[in-house]
Amino acid sequence: MIEAHAAIERWPTAQPFTIARGTKHFVDTVLVTVRAGETEGRGEGTPVYYRDQTAAGAVAMIEALGDVRIDRTAIQTLLPPGAARNALDCALWDLEAKSERASVWAIAGLHPPSPVTTALTLSLGDPGTMEMAARAAAARPLLKLKLGGDGGDRDRVAAVRRGAPAARLIVDANEAWGGLDIEAEAAALALLGVELIEQPVPAGEEARLDGVRARVPFAADESCQTRADLDRCAGRFEAINIKLDKAGGLTEALALRTEARARGFDVMVGCMLCTSLAVAPALLVAQGCRWVDLDGPLLLARDRTDGLRFDADGRVWPGTGVLWG
């Protein structure tokens, strides 16, 4: 019998974290612990706020399972995609690995993971502020910029390019370009060396991209949660951003990666604001992906004491020992 326990944890951000939808000073995550005898597995989920998920709601979902038999297959239908299923799914993977004295990657039939280079996200701000942030991070190979869709995004990107002339740049509009000339915006950003534009239009309004011929590929974030969303992304986005909180766990994230690649999509792997406990399983999905954005712990004031290793050169290393070893 597997017992599951869920608790809310609050993690302050290192700096106010601003995107087109607002500013965050902390994030509430859900820690799920599962036990079978003396063996324990852990998983973490961050509620997808733009889908009206909350930490309290995620905990309630876990508690509502009661005495139902819990395993990775069952929870794919017992729980909807989101933070609750993600945290529980990852905890069950962790529990199985520790019970079998094996690694999660081996149980999943994957190759041993290698370190990957993650983007560092620059919070939305005025051009001067973003240029200063870019200068402070200029040594990093990949920067991700939050944009606002307010007519000032070209100036923001130009400022960041001045601050970090050698860095690769990707940008995230967070659905804010619905009222702009998307093709013209993309053309302007291409001249500044931007190599990917995430979610230019609101989810549900993907038809705005029909006929758009952009020099920079678009990635579906809010528009792609699980495999069920790939049909409406086809022909409109060249890439998808897989996040375990959106997909509802490592199980669905791996399946989504496989199907997306089979259908010709490039793959990006991202995360919400989170600790290393959430990034550790995402690193398995990120292997071999074109873009990686797993900097959640770097945006917090502190990480878990058994957190992952993040190097100054942008590399993040797979977990060992107590954290997803």
Active site residue ranges: 146, 243
CA distances from 56 to 59, 61, 132, 225, 271 (A): 5, 9, 37, 21, 20
How far is it, in rounded angstroms, from Cα 73 to Cα 148?
Answer: 40
Pairing of strands 116-117, 315-316: antiparallel
How far is it, in rounded angstroms, from Cα 5 to Cα 292?
Answer: 31
At residue 115, the 3 state secondary structure works out as coil
Query: For 85-158, where are the E strands, in sequence order?
Result: 116-117, 120-122, 142-146
187: CB partners within 8 A, 6+ apart: 214, 215
How far is it, in rounded angstroms, from Cα 54 to Cα 222?
Answer: 17
253: CB partners within 8 A, 6+ apart: 242, 243, 244, 247, 281, 282, 285
The residue type at 155: D
What distance lies between CA 43 and its chain's CA centroid?
15
CA distances from 141 to 138, 168, 195 (A): 8, 6, 13
Instruction: Give the largest Cα separation in the chain, rounded.
Output: 60
How far is it, in rounded angstroms, from Cα 216 to Cα 147?
Answer: 15
User: What sign results for the dihedral spanned by CA atoms 35, 38, 43, 47?
Assistant: positive
Angle between helices 127-136 and 153-163 (to 10 degrees): 30
